[in-house]
Structure 1
């Protein structure tokens, strides 16, 4: 099969949901037995989002091969079976860096380096490389039409239609149809102007997907079709829904996949969306609910914890429970105390960097341990649990991480180079800090689980692959003392030197991992750690309710 390219652009306003729309379309095409992948083109000049504040950009999604990528790649993996890699996300910064490196090496033979053709050619090369081995390549262009930053990307996808053939390319434009309450109308003019802007670049959209909080009438659909030169059946209404996992079924019901397949000359079976229908049914028919407290410092922007939030929802589907997530600022706990955590069925502390709010997280871990409330710690969430255990159980009063206090008495969490020599031997702590740059442990790493540990029973196997994004590790210098105090190490890294999972044997359910299990959770296949966590929350709720009933 000749490779087909579907380019997805956005207009009117940003944050319309291009990533989720692209993922939903890919899910339908995958359900038609096509080999699909998705590429995200980001117009910012940063090399990758790894150094961008979560407040600005949301979470950093880590791929199996260790790339720090846009959060949309998380949506892609949650909707399709294809695993993303560093080839599935690239930025303007990466493109210009590559072109400038080639220029310095003389690869352009002294030619004047320009946006066209050198930048655009590089973009096209990246798209072709990212789509290698797949039948269908969906390419999402970040930003909106009209942005200066996006112009080289838009010019590149215009050129691709000429080079690979218009019959092998398809353009989808996502726009907003605002609803004016005073007149009771959905307005089409912003969409018309957005398409006009796209046409000025030389791109005629084949499909318009119109976002709105109201349904689009036949008259409005016909008007958009006429003014935007798009067939009426290719004007798709995407009304706001209460779950993103309804979108594949919603789009298929309007025949968008049939239109795409016919336009691209694809011969494939009808899409079988039974898995997505099951997800929708599970979501609509819970048998109970639990309330989970997620303690972090970016609670004003839930996208900073997007994969964790979705993984909790997936675990709810697995257990047929509605998961109510209460976002709690860890600094509020420092000020107001742990009374904020009352009435929760479980506590989760996600990953993060920096000292701000850490003491509130340590207080939360202590509360969960002492009150026997189910606890799941992820990355920093594991480290604060370890610090709390060291301080209040193992008698290491000033235990801390060297990330926060470089000269603490008990550095139970530290950089590897601070307590291990090049041969891997444990040495005395050294005051000289190692460089921060290039020392992150990223991507999938093998973990050996301890037989009969809670983690091993949840996974149902001895070895697992999980994704990491961190720099500091559990300090092996203090491991024997911590284990003697009752800590159980339930998983080690492949070389058995680094702690990956900890548990408290005398607690109903207290597990923390150095890796990020949320990156491997999907609505069709909930992650075992999250599924076990939500199940334990439900058990805790039942036990608490029974005790309260007996007291009454």
Structure 2
């Protein structure tokens, strides 16, 4: 029977519950245990698919097409276990399902209430498909004390009674702030936070204390005494130089040992941490350095491109080089050639990521032109590939009016709304005026690569599967004209209808992909496209 670890947070948000969950999962996995990590999100959106990246960061997409919280990206990168639709649930999804059941009469006339109906749905989500696991880590989003999270904390309380205390452990993250004027670390916020969650019936077994300075033994003793935990269970969590150092740091502090102790497990093998040591050695001792210019529209919030950033780091790990990312607002390049050159010339490679909407599109197209003409390595992802096709249509295929219907009516729809496509479930159809949420081409789809293409040599195969998240596609009607202009369609959907990859054979490294390869990159298994892209940037750096 699986054991359950519930991760909560108090005092303030952004304390790193997602990294804690991912790191703890990696540490238990390194000891030989089979682990799964799940995320409970208290907000009322059904999923984050329609939320602004500035509000919520990136939307992480799973193989089975779920639009989920970005923390699931941490879970996958740290454990290598692919997440599923069942690994992320929101209050909105729970309430939607409950109301649907009530309308059907499933509750047989009962009054539908938070307890037991909402809490039962939460518990069912936590317990589903866990039979073959050793540990299930459940992260509760938000901050204890928020009204939205109360049903989830209550569900935890009930689960701890249902399963037995020897089958569940509570890990609570808190803040131990440094008050500069007083020259002291303050433990009172942690005491109040633990009192808050304990008043709801959940007594933490382990405390992870975020702080700027090491916590003295005397302060740990005070926290332990007032929070009713052993002093060894007060774990210091200092800022790390890299997120990939966090599992090593937490192991040194004894986090995994304390969690196992709380379960009464005394004979667990030590974790095999050699691969984590190797990652940090590569990050700490690079043999080169490259600068990547990322031309996007959400660059004001790095979490909007979280998986992209990590995939670039993974490409650096693969080549043992340091990757510097120059985040560039695409709007800066609209109608300003001088500024464009000044910003992009120091970059050894240019990447145009995905996004939605017209804002900044002309700046992205100008960046593509710069990379094509200057022979600078270029990587276009999703909308970035579409902008590369529009740029090629305008400047190398002679289609001056080339554009996308996403931005309005156009006489030359090089990119258009996709209304139907084939999936494993059969023909999928979407209406132009339909809902935005959950209606895109989502999840893993296969593609066929041309045998003599650059991408086939990078992948080492002609059959690939990658994750998608988009509702517009490059119009295959323009394929002959674009290829005449030098932009080759080197990857297509298996039925030959949907373009998946374009490249320029006369360019050192020019690739655009309709999918999101960053979602499948791992520190121990960097995505081949990112590894090759960083290698091309390294070659470019030696030419400058």
TM range (shorter): over 0.9
1:81-480 equivalences in 2 (<5 Å) = 81-129=80-128, 131-266=130-265, 267-337=267-337, 338-339=340-341, 340-406=343-409, 408-417=410-419, 433=432, 435=434, 437=436, 439-480=439-480
The change in CA–CA distance for 1:301 and 1:130 in structure 2 (over 3 A counts) is farther
Residues 154, 201 of structure 1: 8 Å contact kept:
yes
Mapped partners of 1:412, 1:142: distance in 2 = 41
2 CA distance for matches of 1:155 and 1:189? 24
Alpha carbons 1:467, 1:517 under 8 Å: kept? yes
Aligned counterparts of 2:479 and 2:511: Cα–Cα separation in 1: 17
What is the distance in 1 between the residues matched to 2:77 and 2:35?
A: 13
Q: CA deviation at 1:404?
A: 1.0
Contact kept, 8 Å, 1:88 with 1:130, in 2: the verdict is no
1:434, distance to aligned residue in structure 2 (A):
5.9
Cα distance in structure 2, aligned partners of 1:522 and 1:433: 36
What is the SS of the residue equivalent to 1:140? strand
- The count of aligned residue pairs is 532
Does the 8 Å CA contact 1:34/1:268 hold for their aligned counterparts?
Answer: no
* CA deviation string 1:58-110 (max 9, x = no partner): 00000000000000000110100211011000000011111111111111111
What is the distance in 2 between the residues matched to 1:82 and 1:394?
44
Could you tell me whether the CA contact under 8 Å between 1:58 and 1:305 is conserved in 2? Answer: yes
Unaligned runs of 5+ in 2: none
Output the TM-score relative to the length of structure 1.
0.94
For residues 302 and 9 of structure 2, the distance between their equivalents in structure 1, rounded to whole angstroms, comes to 22
| Residues 415, 434 of structure 1: 8 Å contact kept | no
Give the C-alpha shift of residue 259 in structure 1: 2.2
**d(CA) in 2 for partners of 1:412, 1:371:** 24
8 Å CA contact 1:178, 1:186 repeated in 2: yes
Q: In the alignment, is the contact (CA less than 8 A) between 1:400 and 1:413 conserved in 2?
A: yes
Q: Deviations over 1:191-212 (max 9, x none)?
A: 0000010111011100000001
Offset at residue 452 of structure 1 (A): 2.4
2:221 alignment partner, SS class? helix
Asked if structure 1 preserves the Cα contact closer than 8 Å seen for 2:311 and 2:527, the reply is yes
Shift of 1:217: 1.0
After the TM superposition, which of the residue ranges 408-417 and 12-21 deviates more from structure 2?
408-417
- The alignment partner of 1:225 has SS state of helix
Alignment check: 8 A CA contact 1:417 1:434 kept: no
TM-score (norm 2): 0.96
8 Å contact kept, 1:467–1:516 = yes
